[in-house]
DNA sequence: GCTC
DNA sequence: AGCAACG
DNA sequence: GAGCCGCTTGCT
């Protein structure tokens, strides 16, 4: 039993090494929960989506709980190092424990009936049951701004990701940091982060961030870069053209149509969507899909599937078990969802892959909750059935897990992406080559995890 | 930025 | 080819 | 000091 605990701990720490954290938070919420959503016309029943994975949820929770208790009952050695290590261990076990609790949440969407009982705390879907308190907002808020500056304005993705990873560790700590000593040795917290944390603890702010904030260029470019479709390069060009505000950009002809939509609905898009509303829109999409092609499978992935109380956008992953009816389906679905006045604007579209190509049709756009004008980001992806498991993993995320799985795959001689796991060989030049035709067959997510020998994670445990 |  | 996006 | 996901995908 102890072995299991140790293993789980080491593995988690290993994970955190690579990176961590949940999607960026933008703090404005303006939800006026209103009328019930319209379900699509004829069919009011919810199509049954087979999701074997969900059955294992509760089991996992219990297992984690037991491990946690075992861990704590096991402390009787008392060297300083041991106690130090044990303290950290408890920290991470607590993290796991909480993920476990979140575990039930993910399934609540599937069994939306019960609103009371022992799972009440979870069933109510109060933000707190999904989102750990984050006792170190004083630090993570600053790091988050730096993350955005490095990402949106400076185009330094690597450095941006480092702040992202540091935050993911810090926001999960079960205590409020009072001294740098407490973060030394934590994954993703190196010398520079320690120094900055020390400064924040001492002065309440970061001189680096303050410096950035005084710089008009950084401020403006960062603002532009936050618009959907505008990256660091374009943002900088727009600044050099003399633009200073988002209003200035409205008469900028050079913007692509997607960027124009991103601009027009910028504030809309940045608002988080309450989980229960996503659930309602999921039903709408499912019903619509079923009315077009019975037997079609529609699942809302992303942070929704990972159990978050508030989500930034919606990611729908679609397939058909018969292996052929998915072809051409996306166009029909989009058409009908527009008729229903649900889908509103297109951002990028890649559809109509011919059946024999076994390609993935994608749609990125905007939609609105029935009866409201407020826009949301929505993605639709249609997979041929044999690629579905890979698509589901990729579009459930989170991004850190995806990268980690891909790195692991590479280490084991494979190449992983959202439509397969492919053995890698080397050509004469030693270049990596993989035959897309000879991918490893996996029909469930679990088979992919197993193939990579990566410990199984419930969707709600994937918020690394 | 962090890690090996 | 460069840019931007997705998890 | 090198590597950091994807022989991503779509758009211009």
How far apart are the C-alpha atoms of A19 and A139, rounded to whole Å?
A: 17
- Residue A438's pLDDT is 86
What's the length of chain A?
A: 464
Q: Does residue A402 reach within 7 angstroms of strand D, measured from its CB?
A: yes
Residue–nucleotide distance: A163 CA to B1 C1' (Å): 7
**Nearest nucleotide (C1') to the CA of residue A348?**
D10
Residue–nucleotide distance: A138 CA to D2 C1' (Å): 34
Q: Mean pLDDT check: name the lowest of A81-85, A204-208, A388-392.
A: A81-85
pLDDT averaged over chain A?
Answer: 78
pLDDT in tens, A232-258: 999 999 999 999 999 999 999 999 999
- Where are any strands of DSSP class E within A337-402? 343-350, 361-368, 375-383
pTM for this entry: 0.76
Q: Answer yes or no: is pLDDT of A72 > 90.
A: no
DSSP state for residue A149 in the 8-state scheme: I
The burial of A143, by beta-carbon neighbours within 10 Å (0-12 exposed, 13-18 middle, 19 or more buried), is given as buried
**Nearest nucleotide (C1') to the CA of residue A193?**
B1
The protein footprint on chain D, as nucleotides within 7 A of a CB, is 4-12
Residue in A179, A6, A170, A16 with CA at minimum distance from that of residue A82? A6
Residue–nucleotide distance: A404 CA to D6 C1' (Å): 12
Q: Is A440 helix (H, G, I), strand (E, B) or coil?
A: coil
Q: Mean pLDDT check: name the lowest of A25-29, A105-109, A320-324.
A: A25-29
The backbone region for A244, taken as left when phi is positive above 0, alpha when psi lies in -120 to 50, beta otherwise, is alpha
Q: Does residue A295 reach within 7 angstroms of strand D, measured from its CB?
A: no
Nearest protein residue, CA measured to C1' of D8: A417
Q: Within 10 Å of residue A446's Cβ, how many Cβ atoms?
A: 15
pLDDT in tens, A327-357: 999 999 999 999 999 999 999 999 999 999 9
Calculate what percentage of chain A has a pLDDT beyond 70: 72
Q: Does residue A256 reach within 7 angstroms of strand D, measured from its CB?
A: yes
How far apart are the C-alpha atoms of A196 and A170, rounded to whole Å?
A: 13
- Residue A131's pLDDT is 65
- Residue A1's pLDDT is 29
**Nearest nucleotide (C1') to the CA of residue A400?**
C7
Calculate what percentage of chain A has a pLDDT beyond 90: 68
Q: Which of residues 366-425 of A touch strand B (CB under 7 A)?
A: none
Torsion angle of C-alpha atoms A351, A352, A357, A360, degrees rounded to 10: 30
Torsion angle of C-alpha atoms A306, A307, A311, A313, degrees rounded to 10: 40
Q: Which residues of A361-390 are buried (b: 16+ CB within 10 A; e: fewer)?
A: bbbbbbbbbbeeebbbbbbbbbbbbbbbbb
Q: Within 10 Å of residue A23's Cβ, how many Cβ atoms?
A: 19
Q: pLDDT-derived band of residue A306, with 50, 70 and 90 as boundaries? A: very high
Residue–nucleotide distance: A71 CA to C5 C1' (Å): 42
pLDDT in tens, A364-392: 999 999 999 999 999 999 999 999 999 99
Mean pLDDT of A412-438: 88
Q: Answer yes or no: is pLDDT of A10 > 60.
A: no
- Residue A130's pLDDT is 57
Residue in A183, A181, A196, A194 with CA at minimum distance from that of residue A145? A196
Q: Mean pLDDT check: name the lowest of A105-119, A141-155, A414-428.
A: A105-119
Dihedral sign, CA of A104, A109, A111, A112? Answer: positive
Q: pLDDT-derived band of residue A425, with 50, 70 and 90 as boundaries? A: confident
Which CATH number is associated with domain A273-383? 3.30.460.10
Q: Which of residues 196-225 of A touch strand B (CB under 7 A)?
A: 208
Q: Answer yes or no: is pLDDT of A180 > 80.
A: yes
**Nearest nucleotide (C1') to the CA of residue A401?**
C7
Distances (CA, A) of A100 to A94, A106, A287, A305, A463: 10, 10, 31, 14, 11
The protein footprint on chain B, as nucleotides within 7 A of a CB, is 1-4
Q: Show which residues sit with Cβ under 7 A of nucleic chain C.
A: A 23, 155, 225, 227-235, 262, 301-303, 306, 312-313, 315, 364, 377, 379, 394-399, 402-403, 406
Which carries the bigger pLDDT value, residue A224 or residue A52? A224
Residue–nucleotide distance: A169 CA to C1 C1' (Å): 37
Q: Does residue A406 reach within 7 angstroms of strand D, measured from its CB?
A: yes
Residue–nucleotide distance: A420 CA to D7 C1' (Å): 13
Which CATH number is associated with domain A215-264? 1.10.150.20
Q: pLDDT-derived band of residue A84, with 50, 70 and 90 as boundaries? A: very low
Q: Is A41 helix (H, G, I), strand (E, B) or coil?
A: coil
Mean pLDDT of A10-36: 26
Dihedral sign, CA of A378, A393, A355, A386? Answer: negative
Which carries the bigger pLDDT value, residue A97 or residue A59? A97
Identical topology for domains A215-264 and A273-383: no
Domain segments of chain A as ranges: 215-264, 273-383
């Amino acid at each position: 039993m102890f072995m299991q605990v140790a293993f789980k701990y080491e593995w988690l720490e290993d994970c955190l090494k690579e990176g961590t954290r949940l999607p960026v938070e933008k703090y404005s919420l303006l939800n006026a929960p209103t009328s019930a959503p319209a379900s699509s016309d004829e069919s009011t029943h919810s199509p049954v989506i087979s999701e074997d994975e969900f059955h294992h949820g509760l089991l996992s929770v219990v297992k984690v709980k037991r491990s946690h208790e075992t861990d704590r009952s096991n402390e009787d050695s008392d060297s300083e190092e041991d106690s130090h290590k044990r303290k950290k261990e408890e920290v991470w076990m607590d993290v796991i424990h909480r993920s476990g609790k979140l575990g039930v949440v993910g399934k609540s969407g599937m069994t939306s009936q019960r609103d009371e009982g022992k799972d009440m705390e979870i069933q109510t879907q109060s933000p707190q049951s999904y989102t750990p308190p984050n006792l170190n907002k004083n630090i993570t808020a600053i790091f988050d701004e730096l993350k955005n500056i490095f990402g949106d304005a400076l185009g330094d993705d690597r450095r941006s990701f480092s702040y992202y990873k540091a935050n993911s560790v810090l926001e999960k700590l079960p205590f409020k940091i009072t001294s740098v000593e407490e973060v030394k040795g934590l994954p993703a917290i190196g010398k520079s982060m320690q120094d900055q944390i020390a400064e924040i603890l001492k002065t309440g702010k970061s001189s680096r961030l303050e410096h950035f904030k005084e710089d008009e260029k950084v401020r403006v470019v960062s603002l532009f870069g936050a618009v959907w479709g505008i990256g660091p390069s374009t943002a900088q060009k727009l600044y050099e053209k003399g633009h200073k505000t988002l209003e200035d950009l409205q008469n900028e002809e050079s913007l692509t149509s997607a960027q124009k939509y991103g601009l027009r609905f910028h504030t809309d898009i940045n608002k988080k969507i309450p989980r229960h509303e996503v659930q309602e829109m999921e039903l709408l999409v499912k019903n619509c899909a079923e009315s077009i092609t019975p037997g079609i499978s529609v699942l809302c992935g992303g942070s929704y599937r990972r159990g978050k109380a508030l989500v930034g956008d919606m990611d729908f992953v679609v397939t058909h078990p018969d292996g052929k009816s998915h072809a051409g389906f996306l166009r029909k679905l989009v058409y009908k969802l527009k008729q229903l006045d649900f889908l509103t604007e297109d951002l990028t579209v890649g559809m109509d892959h011919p059946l024999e190509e076994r390609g993935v049709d994608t749609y990125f756009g905007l939609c609105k909750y029935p009866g409201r004008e407020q826009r949301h980001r929505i993605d639709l992806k249609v997979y041929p059935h044999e690629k579905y498991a890979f698509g589901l993993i990729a579009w459930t995320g989170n991004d850190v897990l995806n990268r980690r799985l891909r790195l692991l795959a590479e280490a084991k001689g494979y190449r992983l992406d959202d439509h397969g796991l492919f053995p890698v060989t080397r050509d004469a030049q030693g270049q990596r080559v993989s035959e897309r035709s000879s991918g490893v067959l996996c029909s469930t997510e679990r088979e992919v995890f197993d193939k990579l020998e990566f410990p199984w994670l419930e969707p709600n445990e994937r918020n690394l």
